């Protein structure tokens, strides 16, 4: 695998040609280069990357593509081929990200700012960019991270610098947090490290990617439940991050560890040097299923309410009064174990692999629904529909609370599967039926982010 994102000379395909024309109409000049970064589908390992655990995503074919020209001005001028996203101009010396208002351009600026800070660039090149996205927004396929990654990559290129895929992934994971969501690094890492034809086990600290060959006799199908979820617009996501952080501290304290230093559930396991199965037992022994009040947490840790609010809770979780620590920690440790089992089954490629992988996906969905509570009735209904339509396994993918499910479908059942899901989930509802085309599709592991020049 090459270390840097590829730079390719290409003949413009229809999409690039169209983007070039829009760019010329808008700015009266030709683009200097193009850059793209893909969205992703996570096959298993939900809400555990920010706890330090490995996940198993693959890039999808849909991506964020941008046409770029570079100039001597101090401005970044942005436009989008989708009229829903308005034009935006910002001075390179004044890049600010408005958390209260997570609009599309702020994701772009996260990528720019991350690269600027990493490289210590005092003067950034002026740029004109037209962005064209094919990743459906607010659907759990990581359109926002693809935008951050695309912006990071094109900023490096526009400023004639070079950064490795791993460094770019780490910069973009960190800088997307300027928007306010405390995601892990899965989405940005797969967007850079993906390779066509293979899913990846991503491990963090340090970031590593290992190929995982998926079974030949099944395909993965993405289906959108048609409930939109913008994770930056609500506090659901950060509440889960904070619950995991508090659970980390309570578990660590109960085992006599230096709890104030530890932030991730994975660190507790590393310190105790026990298996994931043992961590599940420890959760059952130490934590109780009833939600914890702030007072109880303060009492357990021997800290004041002020210190809980300022040191442990994040800005958009200050209002939360009760925290489900047992359920969240149990999900994280058991889901982390399922990721490793999934990879092992793929590697063995024995008879019955598809059935076993399907079971792991089912267990993952049930845990997301019941313990992590990041599903919603439509996602659950769609997962049931997919199973009844012939999937070996089906689960929500991405942050949840709306968005997509991913199903593993034996290749010989694919046609009837698509037909049945269409008939039972999309057709009966006019709104869903209208969205069906971009909502139900087969996907293959796609390649990672790249820079393109017209040949």
Which residue reads 């990879």 in tokens?
343
The phi, psi pair for 432, rounded to 5°, reads -65, -40
Which residue, 176 or 436, has its beta carbon nearer to ligand GLA?
176
Catalytic hit among 187, 258, 370, 412? 187
Q: Is 64 left (phi over 0), alpha (psi -120 to 50) or beta?
A: beta
Nearest residue to ligand GLA by CB is 183
Edge-first strand order for the sheet with 404-410 is 393-396, 404-410, 218-224, 440-443
351 is catalytic: no
d(CA 313, CA 293) in angstroms, rounded, equals: 13
Contact set with ligand GLA (CB under 6 A) = 42, 46-47, 49-50, 142, 183-184, 186-187, 398-399
Nearer to ligand GLA, 16 or 239 (CB): 239
Residue 125 gets which letter from DSSP? P
**228: three-class secondary structure by DSSP:** coil
Between 336 and 421, CB nearer to ligand GLA: 336
* Angle between helical axes of 165-176 and 186-193 (0-180°, round to 10): 150
CB of 330 to ligand GLA, least distance (A): 16
Taking the least distance from each CB to ligand GLA, the nearer of 214 and 368 is: 368
Orientation angle between helical segments 414-421 and 377-388, nearest 10 degrees: 140
Q: Which residues of 158-190 are buried (b: 16+ CB within 10 A; e: fewer)?
A: bbeeebebbbbbbbbbebbebbbbbbbbbbbbb
Smallest gap from Cβ 289 to ligand GLA, in A, equals 23
Least distance CB 55 / ligand GLA (angstroms): 7
Nearer to ligand GLA, 40 or 113 (CB): 40
Considering the complex, what minimum distance in angstroms separates the CB of residue 237 from ligand GLA? 7
CA 350 to chain centre: 30
DSSP 8-state code for residue 309: I
- Provide φ and ψ at 80, rounded to 5°: -135, 140
Specify the residue, 19 or 146, whose C-beta has the smaller distance to ligand GLA: 146
DSSP state of 425: I
Q: How far is the CB of 67 from ligand GLA (least distance, A)?
A: 26
Q: Name the minimum Å distance from CB 187 to ligand GLA.
A: 5
Alpha-carbon span 52 to 335, nearest angstrom:
12
* Positions marked active-site: 187
């Amino acid at each position: 695998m090459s270390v840097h994102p590829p730079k390719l000379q290409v003949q413009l395909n229809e999409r690039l040609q169209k983007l070039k024309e829009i760019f010329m109409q808008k700015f009266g000049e030709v683009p200097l280069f193009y850059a793209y970064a893909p969205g992703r589908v996570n096959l298993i390992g939900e809400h555990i990357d920010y706890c330090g655990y490995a996940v198993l995503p693959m890039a999808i074919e849909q991506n964020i593509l941008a046409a770029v020209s570079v100039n001597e001005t101090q401005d970044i001028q942005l436009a989008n081929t989708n009229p829903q996203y308005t034009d935006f101009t910002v001075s390179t010396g004044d890049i600010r990200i408005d958390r209260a208002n997570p609009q599309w351009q702020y994701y772009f600026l996260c990528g720019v700012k991350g690269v600027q800070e990493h490289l210590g660039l005092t003067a950034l090149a002026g740029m004109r960019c037209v962005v064209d996205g094919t990743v459906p927004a607010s659907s759990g396929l990581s359109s926002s991270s693809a935008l951050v990654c695309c912006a990071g990559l094109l900023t490096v290129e526009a400023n004639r610098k070079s950064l490795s895929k791993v460094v770019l992934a780490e910069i973009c994971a960190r800088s997307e947090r300027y928007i306010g969501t405390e995601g892990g690094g899965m989405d940005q890492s797969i967007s850079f490290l993906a390779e066509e034809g293979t899913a990846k086990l991503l491990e963090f600290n340090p970031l590593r990617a290992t190929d995982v060959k998926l079974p030949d006799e099944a395909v993965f199908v993405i289906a959108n439940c048609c409930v939109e979820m913008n994770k930056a617009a609500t506090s659901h996501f950060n509440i889960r991050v904070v619950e995991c952080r508090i659970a980390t501290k309570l578990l660590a304290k109960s085992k006599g560890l230096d709890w104030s230093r530890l932030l991730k559930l994975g660190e507790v396991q590393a310190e105790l040097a026990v298996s994931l199965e043992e961590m599940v037992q420890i959760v059952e022994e130490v934590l109780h299923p009833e939600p914890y009040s702030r007072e109880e947490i303060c009492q357990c840790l021997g800290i004041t309410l002020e210190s809980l609010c300022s040191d442990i809770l994040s800005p958009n979780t200050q209002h939360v009064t009760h925290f489900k620590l047992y359920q969240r920690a149990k999900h994280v440790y058991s889901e982390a174990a399922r990721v490793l089992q999934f990879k092992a089954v793929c590697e063995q490629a024995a008879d019955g692999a598809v059935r076993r992988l399907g079971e792991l996906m089912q267990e993952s969905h049930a845990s997301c629904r019941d313990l992590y509570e990041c599903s919603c009735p439509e996602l659950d209904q769609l997962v049931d529909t997919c199973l009844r339509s012939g999937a070996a396994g089906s689960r929500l993918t991405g942050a949840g609370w709306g968005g997509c499910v991913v199903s593993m479908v034996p290749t010989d059942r694919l046609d009837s599967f698509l037909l049945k899901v269409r008939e039972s989930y999309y057709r009966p509802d006019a709104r869903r039926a209208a969205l069906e085309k971009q909502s139900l599709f087969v996907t293959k592991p796609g390649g990672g982010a790249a820079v393109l020049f017209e040949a």
